[in-house]
A and B are shown apart, each in its own frame.
Chain A
Amino acid sequence: DGGITQSPKYLFRKEGQNVTLSCEQNLNHDAMYWYRQDPGQGLRLIYYSQIVNDFQKGDIAEGYSVSREKKESFPLTVTSAQKNPTAFYLCASSRDRVNQPQHFGDGTRLSIL
């Protein structure tokens, strides 16, 4: 079955450490997205990519970085510059047609040790 796989499900970060969240999709979607979800704040866009080797900053990109070397993969790195990284992170993808919804992974919960 096609879908989006996020790993790990739970991740712990030490102070000053960079960590990378994985997102892989086999839906052949062009666009991929990373969102951060905090209680009461809905989904906030971190980065999105419409095509391989191209990505754009979202509303809260500071302290995060991404790459899009393959169509299927869109990893998110939470750097030590992100001072409040504890949150639930959702990866999504969509076809490059406006009538298509986003498909989501099951998320990664990141916590600070």
Chain B
Amino acid sequence: AQTVTQSQPEMSVQEAETVTLSCTYDTSESDYYLFWYKQPPSRQMILVIRQEAYKQQNATENRFSVNFQKAAKSFSLKISDSQLGDAAMYFCAYRSMAGNQFYFGTGTSLTVIP
């Protein structure tokens, strides 16, 4: 089974600054999908961004972007111009092309300091 590792249990960032959350994964597959989810205190899981492994261009969604390094099996999330509403738990997830299973990291708790 694939494993997803988020090595930063907690991170903090000043409002309006930039923060990067790290995610690494282990796989022998050549094609797959990667996702970042946000879980605010309401505990609702919200999709932030997605990346397909065969696409070299890094995905971007407004203030959120990824740095996808396929050879290094790294998929970090960059949040620019951080806002108070960005405070949440962030989960990295891997989806295999071979089936419907998703594999999640243990999450990073992000605090935004006013």
* B52 contacts A by Cβ under 8 Å: yes
Total count of chain A residues near the partner, CB < 8 A: 23
Whether B43 pairs with A88 at a CB distance below 8 angstroms is: yes
Q: With CB as the reference atom, state the residue of chain A lying closest to B36.
A: A101
**What mask results when residues 17 to 51 of chain B are scored 1 for a CB within 8 Å of chain A, else 0?**
00000000000000011010100001111010010
Q: With CB as the reference atom, state the residue of chain A lying closest to B42.
A: A106
Task: Using A88-B43, A90-B45 as known contacts, say yes or no to A40 and B106 having CB atoms under 8 A apart.
Answer: yes
Inside 8 A of B93's CB, which chain A residues have their CB? Answer: 101-102
A101 interface neighbour in B50, B97, B107, Cβ under 8 Å? B50
B83 CB, min distance to chain A CBs, angstroms: 22
Task: Using A42-B91, A90-B45 as known contacts, say yes or no to A102 and B106 having CB atoms under 8 A apart.
Answer: no
User: Which residues of B, 44-96, contact A by the 8 Å Cβ criterion?
Assistant: 44-45, 47, 50, 52, 91, 93, 95-96
Total count of chain B residues near the partner, CB < 8 A: 26
Q: With CB as the reference atom, state the residue of chain A lying closest to B43.
A: A107
* A96 contacts B by Cβ under 8 Å: yes
Whether A106 pairs with B43 at a CB distance below 8 angstroms is: yes
What is the bound-complex CA distance between A107 and B45, given in angstroms?
A: 9
Inside 8 A of B99's CB, which chain A residues have their CB? Answer: 50
User: Which residues of A, 76-105, contact B by the 8 Å Cβ criterion?
Assistant: 88, 90, 92, 94, 96, 98-99, 101-102, 104
User: Which residues of B, 97-114, contact A by the 8 Å Cβ criterion?
Assistant: 97, 99-102, 104-107
A96 interface neighbour in B35, B37, B100, Cβ under 8 Å? B100
Inside 8 A of B107's CB, which chain A residues have their CB? Answer: 42
Whether A33 pairs with B102 at a CB distance below 8 angstroms is: yes
Whether A101 pairs with B44 at a CB distance below 8 angstroms is: no
Could you pull out 9 A-B pairs where Cβ atoms are within 8 angstroms?
A42-B106, A43-B104, A45-B102, A48-B101, A90-B45, A98-B96, A101-B93, A102-B45, A106-B42
